[in-house]
Structure 1
């Protein structure tokens, strides 16, 4: 009997995880849809939802009955009281955000810096901003942990930053130091991988099983790949470094040791200089690029789009994606003249591969990496909602 009870408990915990995961990813589903998507019966769904409500992880709301026939099913939505914290250190700023279940960004603070922060400086800035944010929260809020989006190579098993070249970090235990500073569980991963996760879950890649995400930021260009509906990480989690694709055999040396990498030819600072900006966020840069009538700006955009097309040609021929999502300043240069890049990609890749691929911009904008990093903070909760609360850190008073 004991073994049978343990088995039943395991099934219940698994089903709670499935239900909470669906509600989180869809930002709310009716009970009837949960029944259809899980194959569980209505009474089981009702019991599981009631348990998640008692844990304050979901809430039930009345549906819009205006277009319904018959008795409408209650809608299960993520609770607003469960939050994850996201951190994104960059060469010109440290951004910290509070994100609710369902990928809802509640607050985002960009803390500019006038020099590339050391690991200790980034930890201290992050910890101070996090302390201030948590002090403003109502005591009902539960903080699940911290997720960090790092512009560099991050070892999957322990979050060690193996190399973040633009930050000048090598083999730095950023996650461990931030955990010591905040008392919260910290998980770190590559920023582009997390952007891929966010866009495939909540953004332009919803429902797409084969896609490439390519992001341009202050620290260079990174990418992520979804293949067959699953993230492609490689043996140690380093896959997707599309910023180091060779695009110019006579190009400038790259910090990685090679020459002519994509991120040596396609660079944010060149765009900032041409439009007269320095420490600007992505929205400001894009607005300036789109509004510019300077021929030099358009010429630089076309030059960068040309090299981007070379990298994407290689990726299309190798990976045969259905969708390419551009984020950060790559989305901005695409916005200036989308027909230019589309025309290059209509000719350069293999015909069979290019026929099915389309290019689009990331939908989540400036919140992209914050939402992606928060997914790390939610991982343990989503995996085992019933047993998570015991290890969750309390909210600040």
Structure 2
């Protein structure tokens, strides 16, 4: 009996994963993808409909003889709350199991928010959404992408230096404030997951992702198709490496790490801005003066050396750059790739591709949602009970 229950759970999970990651699929396509027979698929889909996880709709006309198979899609009312706290803003999104972003808010702050302030901002925005835009939403979990070290075993934020967080139990704070079970992850680890599943590295099994944000530079790794987080969950802190800088004139921080030299704050200063989202920063740099262009070129030289070290150590097939690093790379992606190859072992760099994050400003939110959906995708029926508002 236990084995039968386990097999059914696995089959239900497989169907939810398929419609979540591939989009709406006909029953016939699900039959082909799983190898299950048509009656089993019909029974499993009916169970998922009953639990409010998928919806069925009539197929589009196909102009052929015979009755076409109904289409199965993730129920858009099933959502994850995705959160990305940064030093200048807390960004929140409602991400559907169907991968649509139903609502998104960027709440700017004058000082880095504390964990408690972050929880309060999220709870207030969630309450507003429930009253207005998303009264029918079923939030099954929340995911947080934090620019810092997150301990894998209990999701405690060990250190987020730019936010000034030390040993912050953010998950319980958000659970109390929102009534939603919360998972916490490093922001770049969430970003590489999103780009691997849905973005620039889709279908690629060996990926390095570097995220450039207001708090610095973090990284995420996919090796042989598996996320690599390290013994404690802290792998990927590329921003803390010390790059070789060929020209002393390029150095701005004596003994500084990569994120001291390749820095969003330095780019903002070069165009006279105190803060900006990535599209605004990119436009300002493109229209900047010679000094701004020189700063972009300086940072690209140092970034190329740092990426060459990554290539030599990890031999990735693809490097994906997000945030302000994508802005730096976009000036000339192939030129940057050539500069990386010139400093890397020839064999390691011969098949290398450098790509800009395809999911843009939503990459960390989509990654945070994917982390939040993990339990639902593993055991859909048990995880499907909707959360109720806190208080």
What is the rounded CA distance, in whole Å, between the counterparts of 1:289 and 1:386 in structure 2?
49
**Cα distance per residue 1:130-158 (max 9 Å; x no partner):** 22222225553211121111000011122
Aligned pair 1:331/2:301, yes or no?
Answer: no
**C-alpha deviation, 1:73, in angstroms:** 3.3
In structure 2, relative to structure 1, the CA distance for the partners of 1:350 and 1:112 (3 Å cut) is same
What is the rounded CA distance, in whole Å, between the counterparts of 1:195 and 1:303 in structure 2?
26
- Corresponding position of 1:124: 120
Aligned with 1:295 (options 290, 293, 298): 290
What is the rounded CA distance, in whole Å, between the counterparts of 2:319 and 2:83 in structure 1?
25
Aligned pair 1:394/2:388, yes or no?
Answer: yes
Aligned with 2:45 (options 34, 49, 69): 49
- Corresponding position of 1:75: 71
1:369 alignment partner, SS class: helix
**C-alpha deviation, 1:252, in angstroms:** 6.3
What is the rounded CA distance, in whole Å, between the counterparts of 1:356 and 1:265 in structure 2?
28
In structure 2, relative to structure 1, the CA distance for the partners of 1:90 and 1:386 (3 Å cut) is same
Aligned pair 1:173/2:159, yes or no?
Answer: no
Aligned with 1:306 (options 301, 305, 315): 301
What is the rounded CA distance, in whole Å, between the counterparts of 2:207 and 2:334 in structure 1?
20
**Cα distance per residue 1:141-191 (max 9 Å; x no partner):** 211121111000011122111000111111111221121122211110100
What is the rounded CA distance, in whole Å, between the counterparts of 1:156 and 1:131 in structure 2?
29
User: Which consecutive segments of 4 or more residues in structure 1 shift more than 6 A?
Assistant: 67-70
- Corresponding position of 1:114: 110
What is the rounded CA distance, in whole Å, between the counterparts of 1:275 and 1:144 in structure 2?
42
Q: How does 1:1-397 map to 2 (within 5 A)?
A: 5-66=1-62, 72-248=68-244, 259-290=255-286, 292-390=287-385, 392-394=386-388
In structure 2, relative to structure 1, the CA distance for the partners of 1:307 and 1:124 (3 Å cut) is same
Would you say the 8 A contact 1:275–1:288 is kept in 2?
A: yes
1:247 alignment partner, SS class: coil
Would you say the 8 A contact 1:142–1:395 is kept in 2?
A: no
Instruction: Name stretches of at least 5 consecutive residues in structure 2 with no aligned partner.
Output: none
Moved more, 312-321 or 226-235: 312-321
2:384 alignment partner, SS class: helix
1:324 alignment partner, SS class: strand
Query: RMSD between aligned alpha carbons?
Result: 2.1
**Cα distance per residue 1:308-327 (max 9 Å; x no partner):** 11111111111111111110
What is the rounded CA distance, in whole Å, between the counterparts of 1:128 and 1:49 in structure 2?
36
Moved more, 101-110 or 143-152: 101-110
**C-alpha deviation, 1:217, in angstroms:** 0.3
Would you say the 8 A contact 1:139–1:395 is kept in 2?
A: no
In structure 2, relative to structure 1, the CA distance for the partners of 1:242 and 1:102 (3 Å cut) is farther
What is the rounded CA distance, in whole Å, between the counterparts of 1:343 and 1:125 in structure 2?
44
